Structure 1
């Protein structure tokens, strides 16, 4: 009997994760600044594809977003947004392999402005679509109870604020790292 209940439960969970709705994305880290090694062989499957471009104009990452409440409810629009530093950018898109990283060694007119989108088909959004700017804080007793909901502390990465020379794509650090054969 327990075996039948376990199979039924697993089947129900798997039916919620519909593979037909999954999106194939590039999953590339440490391929910059040319990103030529970011190929379809380096991929993942998720609910959305994302890109991160650091303000240093070298570090780029492509990855999958597994799912969030906002994506599941179709509340997220495809587009790019600036990070709080006003220079780094994130993009989210919803078609197979839409998060292709651009070659940062090839200057293009569309790439030189702070409001240029890393993906030519996407525009810049006014804010991060994953933040709920209409969240009512039940603890706030003031008249204006609208607050952006902060990201949970278990997913914040304070070390990401500092550049890691081992993965930033600098050729000098690559040469230093190849001293053993």
Structure 2
């Protein structure tokens, strides 16, 4: 086992995704992942609390990106405009990761417990965005409605973006979804 190769975390993520897709999430063990990556279980646990964490790596950074983007939106932006600005920043950040996102999506869709975890992640993002909007002076229920609407756009847009037949960028899809939201709300 070559313990000194660089990027152990990245190798573990790739090994986990390969095995989750090949065998299924439930059928894949941490030992399997570590072995496939050419590492030890101990190394796995230095990087991840459990195998679910491989799929939700970067969750805090995503929340931070949403919040900082809402915070940095123009001062005169409406609540929904601030959220739309954040969605566009997030979409641009995600674009290079489409293949990984597609693979991750397949794993999550095949496992109800992971679907539940994904929904919890979305709810946490909505709460963080609403808090950021309130810090900008947006009152309730406007802050929560704008945040939840934005997360709905993100969720629907993300599902379309990772679809195998999709040819549009995530930013294009987000722009279309925001226009649809605006039309529905009018």
TM-score after normalising by structure 1: 0.26
Choose between structure 1 and 2: higher strand proportion.
1
Choose between structure 1 and 2: higher helix proportion.
2
TM-score after normalising by structure 2: 0.26
